[in-house]
Amino acid sequence: MITETSRRNAVKVLFVDDEFIEFRALKKKIADLSEPAVEVEYSQSIGDALEKIRSARFDLILLDNRLLPNADFRDTVPELRGIGYTGPIGVVSTDISGGYFQEFPDYGVDFRIGKDEIDAQALQHIIREYVTYDVPDFWKDDYSI
C-alpha cells in the first residue's frame, strides 16, 4: 500500500500514447520498480496530455513518436513546450532509427528510447539521469552560500 507521504515523493510520469495497450505494457514492465516510487498517468492524445499538464505537475513525460493527428514528435513536443512544460521529455517509439530522430534536441526532446527497451531498470536510469540528481554530501557545502 502506498502511503500519502510516499505519494508526495513519488516521481510523476505522464505516458502519452494513442494505444492503451502500450500503457498497460509499461505498467507491467515497471511494476517491480520500488526505488524511486513512480506514479504513471496515461493520456491517449496530445490534447489530453496538454490538459493534464496544465492541471498537475509531472516530473517526466514519455511521449509516443506518432500521435494522430500530428505527424511525429516534431509537432507534439513543441506543443508541450509551448504551454510551459520544462521537465524532461522522452520520445518513445517502436523504431528510433529514422534519420529525423537525430534532430530531437532541436525540438526540445531530452532523449529517445525504443518501446522494447523500456523496463524497470531503464526507467530507473532515466529518472536518475533526467529527473533527479543526488549531489554528493561533500559538494553541498559549496552550494549553501
The rounded radius of gyration (Å) of the Cα atoms in the chain is 16
Would the pLDDT of 6 be above 50? no
Q: Look at 14-23, 86-95, 131-140 and tell me which has the smallest mean pLDDT.
A: 131-140
**33: pLDDT confidence band, cut at 50, 70 and 90?**
confident
CA distance 122 to 25: 14
Q: Please compute the mean of the pLDDT values over residues 23-33 and round it to a whole number.
A: 86
Alpha helix (H) ranges present in the chain?
Answer: 4-9, 20-29, 46-55, 73-82, 120-126, 137-140
Sketch the domain layout of the chain as residue ranges: 10-96+103-132
> How large a percentage of the chain has pLDDT more than 90?
41
- DSSP 8-state symbol, 129: I
Mean of pLDDT over the chain: 82
d(CA 24, CA 40): 10
The confidence score (pLDDT) of residue 34 equals 72
Q: Which range is least confidently modeled, 8-12, 15-19, 91-95, 97-101?
A: 97-101
Taking only the tens place, the pLDDT of each residue in 70-99 is: 678 888 999 999 999 999 999 998 877 767
The residue-averaged pLDDT of 36-45 equals 90
Looking at 27-36, 87-96, 97-106, 119-128, which range is the least confident one? 97-106
Q: How would residue 104 be classed by pLDDT, with cut points 50, 70 and 90?
A: confident
Better-predicted residue by pLDDT, 57 or 68: 57
Domain covering 10-96+103-132 assigned CATH 3.40.50.2300 in the classification:
yes
